[in-house]
Structure 1
């Protein structure tokens, strides 16, 4: 495994692990409250290293080994964190691999990084989830609480409750990607498990339909959940990376 290094980012001191190799550099973008030590990130790093491929994984502010408070962050901050690490550490073309919230962040980066993006793999991608998931699912009481008190807490199947802040909701509305054009001139592969309890299949279809590109494919995997980390799932991610240019 690559050693963890740090840079001073726009919002915090940011942790990352970079493996040198041939390009395009594969960049793994983790999900909400996840970090770069997750199963998919570590597996793909080893897979890339075995093939002499450049690879980057990172922690957003308030996540993993990066500094900052999770509750203080938002989509715009975390996208800026990822962009800062990518621009400081890598050169040349990129393949963005986004898991859950990382899929949303990857779509934002396709606009910000422009021609550097050579491919995109979305794993249970969750674009616009602060609005279409959190806010849409809130009761009137929860909406009032988050707007007046600044935070509400939602139960999680993966550990401690999620802290959903007013800033997260309001910033999310500034970064929605399913309401504006989403051109992707490069190959795109979207992977979605049928047993995903966090991201609905309707979300995967909405992203698939919304992306404007010549080579966009969506695969549903029967029986797979949101983690998408079983051996067959990891093999599918590897295949998707190869298909988009890896």
Structure 2
């Protein structure tokens, strides 16, 4: 297992990361909201990549895990900056981007920012535009008022402690939306989604598939899988999906 290292981003954030392997393309794992790089999928994929000698990078966004800052200070744009900084500072050559939940949105933003470096993408319960289409769209008038007066609201989660959603996160999210403009992939893409996911709906996965354009895109629905998507069968499917996009790039 690799050891935790740190680098300072251009924005002055201290980002924790693990990097291993040398064979390109580099697999970059992008975790979900309030997740960290010690999660089941991140660790499993690192071990799998190490067995292949494959270059692999996992890191914590600011306000997550071992990186600097607090979650409540952050927003989608900050974590996009962290992702870009990590990729630019710690990798060279082509990338296979693997994004889970909010990390799926980050993967789409990364592909829009540096399309020339993306050789393939795998998303797991990708949650593009969730600050607008899930959070804001479901807020009551009282919650919207609380954003203005208090600056945040708390939302329950089926998978962890309640989320503190700030006004800044909502407003910044509106500047990062990816489903309102063309989304073109010139590389192989595999979207994975569980049918029992209560955080990201199957409809979201289908909307993303229908919205995006590209010559090699597929959506796989796994009946009964939930948002964690981390049992043995799901982990094996992620491995196979990465292998397929690497083979077809």
TM-score by shorter chain over 0.5: yes
Indicate the RMSD between aligned Cα atoms, in angstroms: 0.8
Q: Is the 8 A contact 1:11 1:81 kept in 2?
A: no
Deviation string 1:210-246 (CA, Å, 9 cap, x unpaired) is: 1110000000000000000000000000011011116
Q: Which residue of 1 aligns with 2:171?
A: 170
Contact 1:11 1:77 in 2 (8 A): no
**Map of 1:189 onto structure 2:** 190
The equivalent residue for 2:57 is 56
SS state at 1:26 partner: strand
Which residue pairs with 2:2 in the alignment? 2
CA–CA distance in structure 2, aligned partners of residues 135 and 52 of structure 1:
43
Report the equivalent of 2:21. Answer: 20
Q: Which runs of 4+ in 1 moved over 6 A?
A: none
CA distance in 1, matches of 2:148, 2:47: 43
TM-score, length-scaled by structure 2? 0.97
The offset of 1:11, in angstroms, is 4.8
**C-alpha distance after superposition, 1:180-219 (max 9, x if no partner):** 1111000000000000000011100011111110000000
Q: Is residue 101 of structure 2 the alignment partner of residue 100 of structure 1?
A: yes
Instruction: After TM superposition, list the pairs within 5 Å mapping 1:154-169 onto structure 2.
Output: 154-169=155-170
Aligned to 2:228, what secondary structure does the other structure show?
coil
Is 2:158–2:198's contact at 8 Å kept on the other side of the alignment?
Answer: no
CA contact (8 A) 1:25 1:54 kept: yes
**C-alpha distance in 1 between matches for 2:236 and 2:3:** 25
Moved more, 187-196 or 156-165: 156-165
The TM-score normalised by the length of structure 1 is 0.98
The structure with the greater share of residues assigned to strand is 1
Q: Could you tell me which residue of structure 2 aligns to residue 91 of structure 1? A: 92
Is 1:68 the counterpart of 2:69? The answer is yes
CA distance in structure 1 between the partners assigned to 2:108 and 2:40 by the alignment = 22
Corresponding residue number in structure 2 for 1:179: 180
SS across alignment from 1:37? coil
Contact 1:11–1:61 (Cα < 8 Å) also in 2: no
Deviation at 1:61, TM superposition (A): 0.2
Give CA-to-partner distance per residue, 1:156-181, whole Å, 9 cap, x none. Answer: 22232100000000000000000011
Q: In the alignment, does 2:40 pair up with 1:44?
A: no
Between the two proteins, the alignment pairs up a number of residues equal to 246
In 2, distance between residues paired with 1:155 and 1:32? 13
